[in-house]
Structure 1
Amino acid sequence: MSDTIPKRALIVGASRGLGLGLAETLLHRGWTVTATQRRTGSDLERLKADRLTVETVDIDDDAGVAALHERLGPQTYDLIFVVAGVATQAHDPAHAVPRDVAAQVYLTNAISPIRFAEAFRDRLAPGGSLALMSSVLGSVGLNESGGWETYRASKAALNTLARSFEIRHRESGISVFLVHPGWVRTDMGGAEADIDVATSVTGMADVIEARLGQPGVAYFDYRGETLAW
């Protein structure tokens, strides 16, 4: 990387788990990373790297997102990856989840990532990609086991909105990725999950670097396998 300009990433939602692991992985690969946390005092702040900038923003706060856009100035990014999401009462059937809780899951997991993408679209560098953290649970075609109903619905909505976002901006040649990280041992995934954070983020970084800038919208997992919508 010493003979080239380091690639730049904006990782949104990197206070812990997958976002934190992805920020660490890209830093180790020579990227310059701007990473966000929802609140100050997170594990992200304990990362020590010359090429890391830490910002604080809540993606559900439009004014906060606009302020972040202003603070970061004209800097562009080869990768903008919105990782942030919630799984509140994910194990309860939809009819048992209070309306305000279900609505907040939808807003945080589907609406806010797309609003962030729209707000920062002008900060995507030529040949760069916008990535959104989705899930295999967002696949309608692969839903053969049920469960996680409001979470599934929010990720299916994200997938649909991301496809519409790409269509709306298709003439610009925009590159959009929806990424399933695998079933990962995090606070959200639980201790019984299949893989650890390092396996997931290494795979995601490999696939993203290989596909960076490819126009259109793609839905794939951390191994690079295309998923059914």
Structure 2
Amino acid sequence: MKDRQPCQSEAEARLSSGSAIAVPAITISLKKQPLDCQGSIDAKSPQPTLTRHIAQKNLRPDLRVFSMIQTDHLTLRKPCSSDIDDLFEFLGDAEAMAYTHRDATWRDCRKRVLVHEWFRRKDGAAPWVVVNRADGRVIGWGGLYQDPFERGWGYEVGYYFHPDAWGRGFASELVARALVEADERLKLAEVWAMAHPSNPASKRVLEKAGFVEERYLPDRPRFLLRRPRPLVKA
């Protein structure tokens, strides 16, 4: 995995070109639109100062997104087309994705990332590329999103990491920041998540973040977990 330079996201490039993306039962026409605002935000400062702003006049303030967020150990940012090789290294690995969806081909991986990124404009959230701040390597993909291929589950938290990054607390750090987005920016009443019964470590990450098991979905098979928005003390 290589260090990456700042770049325009592939979804933004497709938006500028006026092409289209097909999603099951949906065809999304991508007309020329203003690009998303660009800026950075430190995890300790939920109200950032934009370093560069491109108009988002058609979006509610809660749906305006920032291209980069930094936590203690991670940089969370929107994907670029040059990230696909690094992402497919683990998103396409059968062992690494044993308990979740695996992209069979590089093209499948690119399509999934691109479709999620298009929905960032509509939903105000989509998976981030996760970069280890210590060495600049792409180590994961995930965060807060509504699954564009299964609309109906609501906003959920999901995460996928390279095996080299397992067991180092990065998933917990990512989930914590995703929930800040859910609570403080989007002000969601609840957030959902799923965990495979053979992957108890992932379930523990979610439970430590405040998720509670709602029920078991035998057809998937997955545990469905829910995390309500914390009550605000007067």
The answer to which structure has the higher strand fraction is 2
Give the TM-score, by structure 1 length.
Answer: 0.31
